[in-house]
A and B are shown apart, each in its own frame.
Chain A
Amino acid sequence: MLNVSVFCIFASYLVAFCFELTRLRGQSLVARIVSLGFASAGLLAHTIYLLARSSEEHLPPLLSSSHDWLLVLAWLLMVLYLVLTIVDRQLAIGLVSLPLIIGLVATSWLLPDTASRGWDPLRSWAMLHASSLVLGTAAVLIGFVLSLLFLWQNGRLKQGAVAKRGLSLPSLEQLARLNLWSLSAAVPLLSFGIISGIVLTYWTSESVWNDPVVLGGTIGWAAMCALLIWQLSQTRTPGRKVAIATAWSCGLLLFAYVGLQVLASAAGMDSVHGRKPTDPKEGAPSALLKAVPTGEVVE
């Protein structure tokens, strides 16, 4: 039943995106209403699905599995997209953000959905780790979308083309400012997520530095930090180059957090975030089951 629900979410967002594409051929009120209707229906299904998962696993979706974590990320972005689209009907952000959201929902299929029971004794830290990372990754995705919108708007202005009706974009100045804000939010959130992850591994005494997801994520995080420092220190860099650099960095981090989880899961590699347990009871990494901060042995 849950698989059907994920398909419903995916299909609703896909139909919403198809109707969003009609903006390219001119504005149509009917298409806008249908697109918003399917997006809202998809979000409702998405919310119900996450709540059902949470009550089934007796865990918040952020902690239960990589599959749920990714769906929470997609849910956050979808809420933001709907709010912005309802506030400004002319804004064409759906053309860029909906494919990303659909991609996240589709990717969630490829990740294990078995809950990691071993997190229970360390729930507070694990929750802090997962929520910091999900919010940081959402900020990264927003930065990615803003960079693409900047490049789109810049290209249009350079060509001297008039914006089509219903395809309005924020000004370059606004996009650059929001981009800097999203980076400024992403870096501390991701840093906190990584630090809390290190604390978790310290308590569980497991070495995770050979884990491809952890390694890739840390490299992506370092790239984001470098980008933020570069952005803040640069006074003579064209906005287009900043947007390209941001898009690449965000893309790298996304690949590290999402792509590597899929690859690790598909290849059956040993990863804290992407492993598919053979036994349902063996949901969590074995090392996590060794000890809790108080020294109490869980199993």
Chain B
Amino acid sequence: MNLHVVSCNHQSASLAIRERLAFSSAEEIQRAYQEFHDRFPSSEVVFLSTCNRVEVYAANTEDDPAVVRQDLATFLSNFHQVPVEEFVGELTEHTGPEAVRHLFEVVSSLDSMVLGEPQIVAQVKEAYRKAEENGSCGALTHALFQGAIRTSNRVRTETRLSNGRVSIASVAVGEFGKSIFDTFSDKLVVVIGAGEMAEETLRYLADEGVKQVVVVNRSRERAERLASTYSGEVADWRELDDWIGRADVIVSTTGAEEPVVTFQRFDQARSRQARYKPVFVIDLGAPRDFDAKIASMDDVYLYDIDSLQKTCERNRQLRQAEVSKANTIVEEETQRFMSEFYSRAGGAIVKRLRDDWHSISQQELQRLFSKLPHLPADDREAIERTVARIVNKLLHPPLEALRDESRDGAPSGLLEALARLFRLR
């Protein structure tokens, strides 16, 4: 099997190298396929480029010279104008069944930075689609990527590898926020502080449809930068109590040494509102920005970084517990793929054998029927059916042996024996 993959991923290569080898735009990918075909016209190829990996899957028929690690490294070097010496040590290579297993692990998110993350399936499908568009897929890569998609479907439905959220912001919004509010589109989000965590949380909230964002921060410049990203507005620090009173969602990441919002301050701020409403508070400050006592108030749903982190950790452990199940599926699908591949490899010999035997039986039947012209049509058909059954029954044991042998690898010995025994060319 002439299948090779070279991979430069988050485990083997630094971000600096991955960035330089990445195919960042559709035009660049298209140019890469073009140049690859010019260089290796008989090869099938699929480029997979995400923020965590750049991988090249190359396949050839047995008759063509294989495209190996050195060829692929040189291609990447020439294409991106990066000297080979700078990254060749950070490339990993898989060939044959190992390459199949590697892709199946990648698409199942077993090789991802965040175990079980769902984006990789879409990224692999997109890479396959682009390869198809550029006419780079052949029989082997089609079968390989279809097998990969089948594997990821099995892993997703038969295991819980993708269950539960594992980042603090996604846990806060997905596991709790969505259980409090039906929709976020009419909710006012007040962000206290303008740190990275606040930005990440706002990204998740924006995905849920948040439209009104107010950033309250001591440094107006940072607040303005964050607010402008989400079409929000900036409020003065002195107006904090007023905004706390009006907010539906509060995200706090100040990094202050003492709680910024005490129980009394929060109670007074909320009591100013005209109408009672629930409030979802995500306190991402360490130490906490909100007094823990606030959580005891009715209709206040307060989550601090510790409680969110515990949920993330629990979800991570649950995912980890599913790894062995997912590995079993990957192994089964790899075996299945290889078995089908080897069966296809022996397909020509099998077809020839079957055709030869049926041809001989037809010749003998014609001879018989010419000697017995008085035979009625029904009897002729009955005889033909019986002979066809005999041929099929005789063919069954060798074909079964061939299929069994294919499970452990290419049945080249048996194929050779069949070809010699029955003079198949």
Contact = CB atoms under 8 A, between A and B. Distances in A.
Interface in A228-281: 234-241
Contacts of B311: 160, 162
A238 B298 contact: yes
Nearest to A175: B182
Contacts of B180: 157, 171-173
Nearest to A153: B179
Contacts of A239: 278, 298-299
Contact of B178 (A171, A236, A238, A240): A171
A3 B324 CA distance: 53
Given A157-B176, A160-B311, A172-B278, A238 B182 contact: no
Interface in A115-171: 153, 156-158, 160, 162-163, 165, 169-171
Contact of B301 (A158, A170, A241): A158
Nearest to B299: A238
Contact of B276 (A153, A174, A236): A236
B176 A160 contact: yes
Interface in B259-294: 274-276, 278
Contacts of B182: 170-171, 173-174, 177
Nearest to A157: B301
Contacts of B183: 173
A177 B299 CA distance: 15
B156 interface: no
B163 interface: yes
A165 B307 contact: no
Given A157-B179, A160-B307, A160-B311, A236 B275 contact: yes
Nearest to A165: B163
Contacts of A162: 164, 171, 175, 311, 314-315
A158 B295 contact: yes
A89 to B, nearest CB: 14
19 contacts: A153-B179, A157-B176, A157-B180, A160-B176, A162-B175, A163-B175, A163-B179, A170-B182, A171-B180, A172-B179, A172-B278, A173-B181, A174-B182, A177-B182, A235-B275, A237-B276, A238-B276, A239-B278, A240-B298
Interface of A: 153, 156-158, 160, 162-163, 165, 169-174, 177, 234-241
Interface of B: 160, 163-164, 171, 175-176, 178-183, 274-276, 278, 295, 298-299, 301, 303, 307, 311, 314-315
